Amino acid sequence: MSKREDPLVQFCATPMQGIGTVLSVDEASDTCSVEMPQGPLCARRALSCLLVPQAGDRIWFAGDLAQGIYVTAVLERASAGPQRICLPPGSRIEASQGSLTLSAESLRFEAVQLSVRADDAAMSVRKLVGIGREATWSFGSIKVISDLLESFADRVVQFSRWSQRTVDGMDQVRSKQIDYRADQSMQLQAENLIANAGNLVKFDGEQIHLG
């Protein structure tokens, strides 16, 4: 190596750090153009710098010209607004012991696929709204306690091996047509039973007992 090349190599390998200003950001390559005391240089976002830099940010850089310059931290941002934290693919936020709390005035999850797994889960909300195309639930036991339960559907289909319902007050059904069928027996029992028909009342059977 010549004497002329030796100082240049040493200069490129000399560590440098300081404060710079982001001129532009190329999100495709995750690099920034940073104005430094040495002049404008290209810098990569360090793995530890989770806050994505923006143009106009004052940042702290470190590295050398041979291995590359890195943006290690965003020190100050002039523009207000939502900040974006970017993690590498397959990242995981973990608290090995104790609890982990996410607190915000408004919390939103966006994902192509969302999976929640827990031994026990509890949810307490004042108002819950769900919108979707299809829902499938599989539970061993379901208990619903509510002051008012309303459901609206174009079609309701239910299958069960055994069904029981107890209503303390009035049980009222209004329909254009009602069809009740039993393979073995059907029993109607009441203190007072009233059956009214506008046109026709028909009883059909091998034996009919009245009274």
Assigned domain for 184 exists: no
pLDDT per residue over 81-136, tens digit each? 888 898 888 888 988 888 899 998 888 888 999 898 888 888 888 888 888 888 88
Q: How confident is the model at residue 79 (pLDDT cuts 50, 70, 90)?
A: confident
Please give the span between the terminal C-alpha atoms of the chain, in angstroms, as a whole number.
Answer: 121
Assigned domain for 44 exists: yes
Q: Which residue has the higher pLDDT, 188 or 78?
A: 188
pLDDT per residue over 178-204, tens digit each? 999 999 998 989 999 999 999 999 988
Distance, CA of 36 to CA of 59 (rounded, Å): 10
Distance of CA 32 to the CA centre of its chain: 31
Assigned domain for 30 exists: yes
Distance, CA of 13 to CA of 68 (rounded, Å): 9
Assigned domain for 72 exists: yes
pLDDT at 87: 87
Angle (CA) 153 154 155, round 5°: 90
Q: For residue 138, give both structure tokens.
A: 């599989």
Q: How far is CA 85 from CA 10, 54, 70, 72, 144, in A?
A: 36, 12, 17, 14, 39
We report the CATH number of the domain holding residue 22 as 2.40.50.320
Q: How far is CA 134 from CA 137, 152, 154, in A?
A: 10, 15, 14
Assigned domain for 60 exists: yes
Q: Quote the domain boundaries for residue 37.
A: 5-76
Assigned domain for 197 exists: no
> How do the residues of the chain divide into helix, strand and coil, expressed in percent and rounded to 5?
5, 20, 75
pTM over 0.75: no
- Segment 26-54 mean pLDDT: 90
Average pLDDT, the chain: 87
pLDDT at 71: 95
Closest CA to 76 of 20, 34, 18: 20
Fill in the amino acid letter for 8.
Answer: L
Assigned domain for 96 exists: no
CB 84 within 8 A of CB 51: yes
Closest CA to 61 of 82, 84, 40, 81: 40
Assigned domain for 58 exists: yes
Overall domain count for the chain:
1
